[in-house]
Amino acid sequence: MTDLATLEAEIVSAVQASADLAGLDAVRVTVLGKSGSISALLKGLGSMGPDERREQGPLINGLRDRVQAVLTERKTALEAAALDAQLAAERLDLTLPAPPRRRGSVHPTMQVMDEMTAIFAEMGFAVADGPDIEDDFHNFTALNFPPKHPARETHDTFFFSPNEAGERMLLRTHTSPVQIRTMVSQAPPIRIIAPGRTYRKDSDQTHPPMFHQVEGLVIDRNIHMGHLKWTLETFVGRFFETSDVVTRFRPHHFPFTEPSAELDVQCDRTGGELKVGQGSSWLEVLGCGMVHPNVIKNCGLDPDEWQGFAFGMGVDRLAMLKYGVPDLRDMFASDVRWLAHYGFSPFAAPSAAGGLS
């Protein structure tokens, strides 16, 4: 009896003393292995008489079960310790930088063009295109510019050398030629905007040689200046995202519209920040008017049947005004710091639900 108790005490202390899984397994083998001490006792049961076996059997089996439990417990503890040690060894310094990833951006001028397109799309305008290299007819003559108008001079307009036919191509000075191309190629009613690049030779600090315009054209039977006013008031309110925008139509002169107007928006410029919808200053936003009867006639339409309005606005300038860009020249400088600062997220596409900006 005391032998079994002594053996159990020895085994338990050996199990507790084992420092790792290998050591523990060695103990297990010396106890429960083929020639282990408890295995030997269990084997000895076979050679016992029935009475002795009845007495010793439960004692030896009980010993085996308790030792087995101690071994399992110790194994679990040692495994947990080993995992802890492994995880501790696997520690990474997560303050280290992750692989670099560039952040792209959309240019503010193009963002604003998308905003404009979204607003006019809601009003039923389609988008029309035209070439940047234009001819005199589409850029000037059809738009009712008189011969030798100053805009036709090399001072104001970029020209190419005359070709074999004596025709001198030019870079369009406005998006208005798209009016002509549209009226010539499609039957009214017409409701389009035409965004694009435009070019002027008379550039200086605040007028780059290339800039962006959005042209608008509506031709129908009964369109008058009141429709023009509603369209532009609606646009300006949506664009500047204010419900109480105050606009002013001021008479002006353009060869291709009659009557002509410029649209001013009431604003506050105090403190260097532009706030639309309040204040006492006026900000010129765009030029517009009723399409000149001569222009309609030049496109093969009868001005007594068809009439409508046109407008043209500078996209870069409106982007500057809306987003507080101080210098127009920076828009075309491709400075990566500027692009990151003033650019827009690709996922910020203007929408009616998400807002225009």
Scanning residues 142 to 201, which ones bind another protein (CB under 8 A)? 147-148, 150, 153-155, 158-161, 163, 169, 171, 191, 197, 199, 201
d(CA 143, CA 153): 16
Residue 124 found at the interface with another protein (CB under 8 A): yes
12-51: which residues touch another protein (CB under 8 A)? none
Please say whether the beta carbons of 260 and 288 come within 8 A.
yes
Instruction: With both helix axes pointing from N to C terminus, report the angle between 21-32 and 37-45 in degrees, rounded to the nearest 10.
Output: 20
**Contacting residues for 195 by C-beta, under 8 A, at least 6 apart:** 113, 116, 117, 127, 175, 212, 213, 214, 215, 315
Q: List the one residue from 72, 76, 345, 351 that touches another protein (CB under 8 A).
A: 345
Query: Which whole-number Å values give the CA distances from 357 to 13, 201, 239, in the listed order?
Result: 75, 33, 9
**CB-wise, 33 or 131, nearer to another protein?**
131
DSSP state of 278: S
Instruction: With both helix axes pointing from N to C terminus, report the angle between 2-17 and 50-89 in degrees, rounded to the nearest 10.
Output: 10
Q: List the one residue from 23, 33, 57, 209 that touches another protein (CB under 8 A).
A: 209
Strand-pairing partners, residue 220, are 307
Give the residue among 310, 352, 286, 350 at the shortest CA–CA distance from 128.
Answer: 310
How many residues bind another protein, per CB under 8 A?
A: 88
> What single string gives the DSSP state of each residue in 219-259?
EESS--HHHHHHHHHHHHHHHTT-TT--EEEEEEEETTEEE
Per-residue x/- track, 322-341, another protein (CB under 8 A): ---------xxxxxxx-xx-
**CB-wise, 5 or 160, nearer to another protein?**
160
Residue 2 found at the interface with another protein (CB under 8 A): no
Distance in Å, CB of 109 to another protein, minimum: 6
Strand-pairing partners, residue 193, are 127, 216
Q: List the one residue from 210, 246, 283, 328 that touches another protein (CB under 8 A).
A: 210
Binding range to another protein, per CB under 8 A, among 53-61, 227-235, 237-245, 271-279: 227-235
267-296: which residues touch another protein (CB under 8 A)? 290, 292-294
Please say whether the beta carbons of 192 and 216 come within 8 A.
yes
Pairing of strands 190-199, 126-127: parallel
Residue 238 found at the interface with another protein (CB under 8 A): no
**CB-wise, 64 or 227, nearer to another protein?**
227
Binding range to another protein, per CB under 8 A, among 24-32, 54-62, 236-244, 345-353: 345-353
Residue 233 found at the interface with another protein (CB under 8 A): yes
Residue 343 found at the interface with another protein (CB under 8 A): yes
**CB-wise, 25 or 132, nearer to another protein?**
132
Q: List the one residue from 44, 58, 62, 346 that touches another protein (CB under 8 A).
A: 346
